[in-house]
A and B are shown apart, each in its own frame.
Chain A
Amino acid sequence: MQTITLGIKEKVFEGVARVPVELDGVTPDALCGKSADEIKELKVWWGNRQEKLGDLFDVGVEGSAEKPDDVKIVCKGDFASVKRVGEGMKAGEIIVESDVGMHCGAMMSGGRILVKGNAGCWAGREMRGGELIIEGDADDYLGAAYRGEMTGMTGGRIVVKGSAGDYVGYLCSGGEIVIEGAVGILAGLGMKGGRIVIGGDAEAPGGEMTGGTLVVKGKVVDMLPSFRFEGEEEVEGVKLKKYAGDLAMGKKAKGVLYAP
């Protein structure tokens, strides 16, 4: 087991501006077996310049690993303006002890990310596999597609203990998203497959969905006028109304929406 700690240096965010640092490429796959000195030499983007990782972060390494599965990266300090943490990771584990910036776990296909605080927009964007757990809140576009693409998340699992923003699971076609709290507008927008469960309230859930299952246990604001009521069912111990839609999309709409 190799445990790598990245502690962000205070000077990074001490100016008037908070220019984000971007940590794509700093994944268990990339760091596996590397020494602290080697890791410090890695280049990361900070605004329009590349800097040595060691100049922006205090780097510690304990133990060693043969394969990425046995690598754990622990992020310490305020990561709210650190973007792309765990982007594209395939294996191993990343723990962020604070809030984390945008694109955390984007395009990940394996491994596990645990965020102890809140996550910025596009967490788990285009996720293919693995697990992303956010103990705080998630911002907009959780598990969503990139602009213009036909599909978003296709596999893996995202769990949010708090609430989430707008467009949860935009164009989702596989995998699972579970949010214990409330969400913003249009959760499951255009979803074609997979499963999204929302513990709290939701606004206009399931817009333009043509497949998959979307469960809202809290209150629905702006229930869309283009769903067909199909009776009541019990889902995860809660009695809910079952709807088919979104019939705005015409005959191809095969989505299932459960709501109170």
Chain B
Amino acid sequence: MAELLIKNGIVFDPINGVKGEKMDICIKDGKVVESVSSEARVIDASGCIVMPGGVDAHTHVAGGKVNAGRLLRPEDGRKGLEPRTGVCRACSGYSVPNTFATGYRYAKMGYTFLMEPAMPPLKARHMHEELMDTPIVDKAGMPLLDNNWMTLQYAKSGDVEKLAAYIAWMINATKGYGVKIVNPGGTEAWGWRKNCGLEDPVPYFDVTPAEIIKALAEANERLSLPHSIHLHANRLGQPGNYETTLKTYDLVKGTKPSRKRQVMHATHVQFHSYGGTNWGNFESKADEIAKYVDQHEHVTIDLGAVMLGDTTTMTADGPMEYNLYLLTGRKWTNCDVELETGSGITPFLYSGKVAVNTIQWAIGMELALLVKDPWKVVLTTDHPNGGPFITYPILISLLMSRKRREEVMKEVHSVINERALLPTIERELDWYEVAVMTRGTPAKILGLHEHGKGHLGVGADADVAIYEISPEETDAGKIQKALLNAKYTIKGGEVVVKDGEVVAVPEGRTFYVDVRYEDEAVWKEMLSDLEKMFKEYYTVSLANYPVQDDYVPKPYVIKAGAAE
């Protein structure tokens, strides 16, 4: 297979401790190698920044909910129309792009791995169908496992072993990657149009969200999964929720990690860092959250930063989306999924003229800048909730340029000077820190660094982004432009983007975890509980539930638990 030699680039490869050194990267058979022959195709990267391909640890790109968002919003669809080319399929959409546009646009930004973080297990097949149609990038999806009636029952009885067995079964059945938690207990309560706080018992199930989270963290570590639990905490988006957030982090302080990583990844933390008691005195508590994260080893976060503009919000947190609809009066979709989870979708405009939106916009960046250790923070907008992924270059340029932040702060609501912290922050991220938050950290948090992602060491996947910009450049506009359209993106050793245009569209692989639970007696008991659930309460049969191999034509299987 073809050899590539990327010459003279300034390389940022945080996992291997490379912080902006001029060096060559050799590629053969889709992997990074020590050296290549004189036959290798040479890519001149002088004057360019070279990084591993970007890893998005949390982006809603595929599945029933995302597609319901597309269907809901033809007016968003017509915003991103691009005709078919000799290489690419027709594209559409801005905040809810079609699957083809998703693959192409991420690749153009130098991203090569996407984690879909909210797969309803019953509709796992749908997510995989869409992932199959998302070109170029590698990807994976995490099943929602926290409002499932089986989980609620095992969490209530404190049966971590059966819970672990159940999780193993579900991850295998859905060809999923890890354990996703979204408003534990609250989404089940939404089945009755109710919600749950951290210590409130779930209606009819008599178990609290706190108990669910703890049990799932224990079960996750019992199985030694590559990723920790991935948590969307209770009370998302509510004034004063930062206290719930910190209490939630404390729940798993004592949980022993089974691998060298966090035991809880807390997602889109911007939405969980709010002070005040109502929308009138709503304020940033990013400092409290940042302090906690810096002082504790068991939690990592991603931003869920808000970018100003129109977007589509979507989450398995049904009650939260309904409340958002009540605020805006715009259209609203909800879909509850039997025995498992729910989802809600509503369009939203983050306006710099609105005080609350302005503070939200500030908080995402405050978190990135106030947490001292970039190895604990992943850069995300919780696409498309805080803003479409296509706004990442804007976000990064703001984080890298205080000057640009100040320019924008002059334009937005003056509340930013009273109830946000951003105006007081001087820190500017450098390219190394950007590489950490978009490559090194997400790969490590997900456990993907052991599988060739997020770095450029020998043996790594040859996923490389080359941006035409000098590391000395401080102009936010130029940073943004370089990041939006990579000079080159290389995926698995193949040049897929050149001069900002997609030039090749290989299929990406789907990563999933094959996890074994070894105690046969427990396994059998769990299976008998599961069979009863299918026989009496599900509307599909157990035999038709697991995702067939047909839906993962390009698999990459990671073994875990007793299968490891």
Say yes or no: B330 contacts A150, CB within 8 Å: yes
> Is B329 in the interface zone, CB < 8 Å from A?
yes
Interface range, A side: under 10
Closest partner residue, chain B, to A210 (CB atom): B329
> Is B74 in the interface zone, CB < 8 Å from A?
yes
Say yes or no: A252 contacts B73, CB within 8 Å: no
Which residues from chain A contact B330 at a C-beta distance below 8 Å? 150
Q: Among A90-98, A141-149, A211-219, A226-234, which stretch is in contact with chain B?
A: A141-149
CA of A147 to CA of B73 in the docked complex: distance in angstroms? Answer: 8
CA of A18 to CA of B78 in the docked complex: distance in angstroms? Answer: 26
Closest partner residue, chain B, to A250 (CB atom): B329
CA of A147 to CA of B76 in the docked complex: distance in angstroms? Answer: 10
CA of A146 to CA of B330 in the docked complex: distance in angstroms? Answer: 16
Q: Which of A218-260 contact B (CB under 8 A)?
A: 252
Chain B interface main SS type: helix
- Total A-B residue pairs with C-beta atoms closer than 8 Å? 15
Say yes or no: A148 contacts B75, CB within 8 Å: yes
Say yes or no: A149 contacts B75, CB within 8 Å: yes
Closest partner residue, chain A, to B330 (CB atom): A150
Say yes or no: A147 contacts B74, CB within 8 Å: yes
A197 to chain B, nearest CB (A): 28
Say yes or no: B329 contacts A146, CB within 8 Å: no
Say yes or no: A252 contacts B329, CB within 8 Å: yes
Interface string of B52-82 (1 = CB under 8 A from A): 0000000000000000000011111110000
CA of A147 to CA of B77 in the docked complex: distance in angstroms? Answer: 11
CA of A146 to CA of B74 in the docked complex: distance in angstroms? Answer: 9
Which residues from chain B contact A252 at a C-beta distance below 8 Å? 329
Closest partner residue, chain B, to A147 (CB atom): B74
- Counting chain B CB atoms within 10 Å of each CB, which of A146, A148, A150 scores highest? A148
Which residues from chain A contact B73 at a C-beta distance below 8 Å? 148
Which residues from chain A contact B74 at a C-beta distance below 8 Å? 146-148
CA of A149 to CA of B75 in the docked complex: distance in angstroms? Answer: 6
B145 to chain A, nearest CB (A): 33
Q: Which of B326-368 contact A (CB under 8 A)?
A: 329-330
CA of A148 to CA of B74 in the docked complex: distance in angstroms? Answer: 6
CA of A9 to CA of B77 in the docked complex: distance in angstroms? Answer: 35
CA of A45 to CA of B329 in the docked complex: distance in angstroms? Answer: 39
Say yes or no: A147 contacts B329, CB within 8 Å: no
CA of A146 to CA of B329 in the docked complex: distance in angstroms? Answer: 19
A47 to chain B, nearest CB (A): 15
14 contacts between A and B (CB under 8 A): A146-B74, A146-B75, A146-B78, A147-B74, A147-B75, A148-B72, A148-B73, A148-B74, A148-B76, A148-B77, A149-B75, A150-B75, A150-B330, A252-B329
- Which chain B residues have a beta carbon within 8 Å of chain A's beta carbons? 72-78, 329-330
